[in-house]
């Protein structure tokens, strides 16, 4: 039996999830994922970080070696079929039968899942493939294949969508379309989405929550705001006498880093910056540059995976 809807229970949760390849390399190292219900969870990491392996473990495509996987608070191991009936997936490349049209591809999955011809029309419309006609999927562009893959995942009206790099190989227009589609599915249909990506700018504009993985370890997990707040921003200061400026700032209680030709100050208010400039100028120090540093997600991500 599936658990009743409970807001406090994450849609997806893992504990101590661990996987080692036969070569001995640890691909997933004690990962504790927690994907809140109704969220769009960006699973970020560079290539080879362990994202796809984690997703494949979640779906039972790889045999779990250690740890626990729960969907809606229910053990995946004990209720595999019941869980999968509520999950839509697209792992790595879209699963598309090249010798069949988009509609016939969907009919294959519709027969298995008991979906109607009407639902096939709905998802074709939703992903913009209604006019693909009898064209075989082999002749589709990569973007069309990705959209068909998403249509397959959506066909049985899942509660959770697990998508592995769904915008891979898409042009900017395609990326925007997929992003808008996923936002719409999340907001209008309350589908929880777990999306893996290494395209940081893409994830930044889409997700509510984020998990950063590298070398199989989960380095961060939380909301976007939590991630940004964890990372320091500051003010870059360049003068003709950095050492003298540093000692004046120290007397004011401002500790800063000396970085070759400039100083890195902690985050300050506008008024504080103006007062500091005035102080340094009166001390005879010439100021060449004052620049606030706002770290974007990309630089935060790079710092995390260094």
Partner 1 sequence: MNFIQVYRSEWLKKNGSMAVWLMLAGAFFVPMINTLLFIFYPERLIPAYDTPTEFWMILFTRSWNSMVVLFLPLGLVLVNSMLCQIEYKNNTWKQIHATPIPYTTIYFAKLSVILVMLVQLFFLFNVGIYASAVIPSFFRTELHVPYYPIPVKQILNENLNYFFVALPMLLLQFMLSMHFRNFVIPLGVGLVMVVLGITAISWEHHYLIPSLYPFLYHLAANQSTTQTFQVFQWASFTSLSFLLLGFLLYRFKPNKG
Residues of the shown chain interacting with partner 1 in the complex, contacts defined by CB under 8 A: 56, 59-63, 80-82, 84-85, 87, 89-100, 104, 107-109, 111-114, 136, 152
Least distance in angstroms from the C-beta of 234 to partner 1: 45
Question: Which residue, 51 or 56, has its beta carbon nearer to partner 1?
Answer: 56
Residues 6+ apart with CB under 8 A from 138: 98, 99
Determine the Cα–Cα distance for residues 25 and 3; give it in Å rounded to an integer.
36
Determine the Cα–Cα distance for residues 26 and 60; give it in Å rounded to an integer.
18
Question: Which residue, 59 or 176, has its beta carbon nearer to partner 1?
Answer: 59
Contact 119, 155 (CB under 8 A): yes
Least distance in angstroms from the C-beta of 27 to partner 1: 12
Least distance in angstroms from the C-beta of 63 to partner 1: 5
Contact 10, 160 (CB under 8 A): no
Question: Which residue, 92 or 240, has its beta carbon nearer to partner 1?
Answer: 92
Least distance in angstroms from the C-beta of 14 to partner 1: 17
**φ and ψ at 265, to 5 degrees?**
-100, 155
Question: Which residue, 113 or 233, has its beta carbon nearer to partner 1?
Answer: 113
Question: Which residue, 85 or 157, has its beta carbon nearer to partner 1?
Answer: 85
Least distance in angstroms from the C-beta of 24 to partner 1: 16
Determine the Cα–Cα distance for residues 265 and 249; give it in Å rounded to an integer.
9
Contact 153, 191 (CB under 8 A): no
């Amino acid at each position: 039996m599936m658990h009743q809807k409970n807001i406090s229970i994450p849609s997806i949760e893992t504990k101590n999830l661990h996987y080692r390849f036969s070569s001995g390399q640890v691909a997933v190292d004690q990962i504790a994922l927690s994907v809140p219900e109704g969220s769009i969870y960006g699973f970020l990491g560079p290539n080879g970080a362990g994202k796809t392996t984690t997703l494949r473990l979640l779906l039972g495509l790889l045999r779990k070696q250690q740890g626990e996987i729960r969907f809606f608070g229910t053990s995946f191991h004990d209720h595999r079929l019941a869980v999968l009936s509520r999950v839509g997936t697209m792992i790595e490349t879209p699963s598309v039968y090249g010798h069949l049209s988009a509609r016939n591809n969907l009919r294959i999955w519709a027969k298995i899942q008991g979906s109607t011809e009407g639902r096939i029309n709905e998802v074709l419309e939703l992903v913009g493939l209604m006019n693909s006609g009898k064209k075989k999927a082999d002749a589709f562009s990569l973007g069309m294949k990705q959209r068909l893959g998403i249509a397959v995942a959506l066909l049985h009206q899942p509660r959770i969508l697990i998508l592995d790099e769904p915008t891979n190989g898409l042009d900017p227009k395609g990326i925007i379309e997929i992003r808008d589609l996923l936002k719409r599915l999340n907001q209008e249909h309350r589908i929880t989405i777990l999306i893996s990506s290494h395209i940081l700018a893409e994830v930044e504009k889409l997700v509510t929550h984020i998990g950063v993985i590298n070398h199989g370890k989960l380095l961060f997990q939380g909301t976007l705001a939590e991630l940004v707040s964890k990372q320091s921003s500051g003010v870059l200061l360049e003068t003709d006498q950095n050492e003298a400026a540093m000692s004046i700032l120290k007397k004011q209680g401002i500790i800063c880093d000396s970085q070759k030709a400039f100083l890195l100050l902690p985050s300050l208010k506008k008024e504080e910056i103006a007062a500091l400039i005035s102080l340094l100028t009166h001390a005879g120090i010439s100021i060449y540059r004052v620049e606030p540093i706002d770290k974007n997600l990309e630089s935060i991500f790079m710092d995390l995976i260094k």
